[in-house]
Amino acid sequence: MRLKFKYPDDFRSSCLLVLDEDTGNVVGTIQSSKPRVDSSGIDIDIWLFDGKYQTRVNGYDAALGFLMGVESVLNHRDDLQFQFASRAA
């Protein structure tokens, strides 16, 4: 699994689509808020896999870190399932 961002076709939305590059499926969304007056950044809501993985983070780096973490966990889980299946065979 490799997650990537895609702008919706209208380019006017503050929402990005999250795609699994391996399957081409949309697996979630990233929605940003307006920048805060106190200049502490912007809030970013992330919603993946029908809400199984969701969070609100502050700033781009935290959003990217969350996505990379979810991707890593899901890839690790798939690797473990493959190892158990091959041992059982």
Domain residue ranges in the chain: 3-88
pTM: predicted TM-score of the whole model, two decimal places: 0.74
pLDDT value, residue 59: 85
Answer whether 33's CB lies under 8 Å from 42's CB.
yes
Cα–Cα distance, 41 to 34 (Å, whole number)? 9
pLDDT value, residue 77: 75
Cα–Cα distance, 44 to 30 (Å, whole number)? 7
Answer whether 63's CB lies under 8 Å from 55's CB.
no
Per-residue pLDDT 10s for the chain (89 aa) are 899 888 766 666 678 899 999 999 999 999 987 766 665 678 899 999 999 999 999 988 898 999 999 999 998 876 655 555 555 54
pLDDT value, residue 56: 94
